[in-house]
Amino acid sequence: MNDKAAVIVDVCAALSSNQTGEAASILLERYPFAPFSKVARRYSVQQMVATFLRDGFIDRYSGARLVCGAALRLISKRLPDHFPFQNNWRTDACHFAFWDLAPTIDHILPVSRGGTDDESNWATTSMLRNSAKANSTLDELGWSLYPAGDVRDWDGLLGWFIDEANADRAVLADPYLRRWFTASRSGVRPKASPASNGSHIARAV
């Protein structure tokens, strides 16, 4: 096992013996400084919809079902006191479901660690797990990559959102919801009625 704490113990022992050079050598050999550059990336709504549909709205790091952000935001608009949302995602003003259930795109192998910024390295995950993973690799965290889901089994309530927006066009006055509605309709089409498993969309044909 790679016990990083043991490395620091050895560094401290060397420093206590006034062996600064030895301490430096231990770090260089066993735990070198490797700066991680922060890579800012913004995805289009179309890219997010395509990725979430590909993964069946499943958190690829936990296997849990996720709920599309547009559905969560619409619930918040209708039940603001019980399901509040705050634009900066402040945990004292935003229902935790947004952190726990809203899907995001994460790089499986961080770009700062040599990963590519393309669909083959993208995974759907919650904001919570995205934040927890940060610049770590799956191996470093002891995580594994769960298989993608099937949108025919679970659509993240995207179909419900589309149906609600079709039934009440006032929903589309919100720019965020309008962007999701436009992007979603290009990739999915609602079925006549919700399936018992909660999914009621299919790929556009």
> What pLDDT band is residue 37 in, cutting at 50, 70 and 90?
low
- Quick check: 178 pLDDT over 80? yes
Predicted pLDDT of residue 205: 21
- Do both 73 and 8 map to the same domain? no
Nearest-angstrom CA–CA distance, 103 and 60: 10
28 and 93 both lie in a single domain: no
Question: What DSSP state is assigned to residue 92?
Answer: T
Shared-domain flag, residues 83 and 134:
yes
| 171 and 98 inside one domain | yes
> Could you give the CA distance from residue 84 to residue 65 in angstroms, rounded to a whole number?
21
Residue 19 lies in a domain: yes
What is the pLDDT averaged over residues 156-172? 95
The answer to whether residues 88 and 6 belong to one domain is no
Alpha carbon separation from 160 to 7, 167, 170 (Å, rounded): 53, 11, 16
Query: Is the pLDDT assigned to residue 145 strictly greater than 80?
Result: yes
Which pLDDT tens digit goes with each residue over 69-96?
Answer: 999 999 999 999 999 999 998 989 999 9
pTM of the entire predicted model: 0.77
Q: Residue 20 is part of which domain span?
A: 1-33
Look at residue 39 and tell me if it is in a domain: no
Residue 150 counted as domain residue: yes
| 94 and 15 belong to one structural domain | no
State whether 10 and 85 are in the same domain: no
Q: Minimum mean pLDDT among 91-95, 139-143, 152-156: which range?
A: 91-95
pLDDT range class, residue 201, cuts 50, 70, 90: very low
pLDDT at 38: 59
Judge whether residue 64 has pLDDT over 50.
Answer: yes
Please indicate, yes or no, if residue 38 is contained in any of the structural domains.
no
Q: Where are the beta strands (DSSP E) in 44-199?
A: 103-107, 122-126, 188-190
- In angstroms, how far is CA 198 from the centroid of its own chain? 21
User: What is the chain's mean pLDDT, rounded?
Assistant: 87
**Domain contains 59:** yes
| C-alpha–C-alpha distance, residues 72 and 203, integer Å | 22
The pLDDT assigned to 31 comes to 87
The answer to whether residues 69 and 7 belong to one domain is no
69 and 1 in a common domain: no
Q: Rounded mean pLDDT of 166-181?
A: 96
What's the structural domain count of the chain?
Answer: 2
- Could you tell me which residues come within 8 angstroms of residue 152 by beta carbon, excluding any fewer than 6 positions away? 199, 202
Residues 195 and 106 in one domain: yes
Q: Are 130 and 106 in contact (CB under 8 A)?
A: yes
Within 13 Å, how many C-alpha atoms sit on residue 131's CB side? Answer: 9
Do 10 and 58 fall within a single domain? no
**What span, in angstroms and rounded, lies between the C-alpha atoms of 105 and 44?**
11
In-domain check, residue 127:
yes
Same domain, 63 and 93: yes
pLDDT band at 204 (very low <50, low <70, confident <90, very high): very low
